[in-house]
Homo-oligomer: A and B are copies of this chain.
Amino acid sequence: MDPDVLAKAFVEHYYTTFDNNRGGLATLYQEGSMLTFEGQKIQGSPNIVAKLTSLPFQQCHHSITTVDCQPSGANGGMLVFVSGNLQLAGEQYALKFSQMFHLMPTPQGSYYVMNDIFRLNYA
């Protein structure tokens, strides 16, 4: 499969899940997965999902501006770099963000998130 197509499909799936069923992100991370969220380091699927579901907003909508991807050189791994806007319910202006994922293939032919780094881009 074309890596760019795969990266876009992952990104669409990830943010749709985030916006509609945040707890469902648990299946995309594993025990060794790492998230750095605004500088805070979190490891393991349960801790990562606990962080994401406890963010101080309920309804949100991510819209994607750019998706770039490259093979990471690590056993079929793929680096995905995203920029976009995060609209929180009740807020007038969207927040800009950048996020990178390092995806690793699973034995089932799918991918999980090995590395995840998220930053808001303050104007």
Residues of A at the B interface (CB closer than 8 Å) are 32, 34, 36, 39, 41, 66, 68-75, 77, 79, 81, 83, 96, 98, 100, 102, 104, 114-115, 117, 119, 121, 123
Contact = CB atoms under 8 A, between A and B. Distances in A.
23 contacts: A36-B69, A36-B81, A39-B66, A66-B119, A68-B119, A72-B74, A72-B77, A72-B102, A72-B115, A73-B74, A73-B77, A73-B114, A73-B115, A74-B74, A74-B77, A79-B115, A79-B117, A81-B98, A81-B119, A96-B121, A98-B119, A100-B117, A123-B123
Interface majority SS (helix, strand, loop, mixed), chain A: strand
Contact of A73 (B104, B117, B123): B104
A11 to B, nearest CB: 14
Contact of A39 (B39, B68, B117, B121): B68
A16 to B, nearest CB: 22
Contacts of A34: 70-71
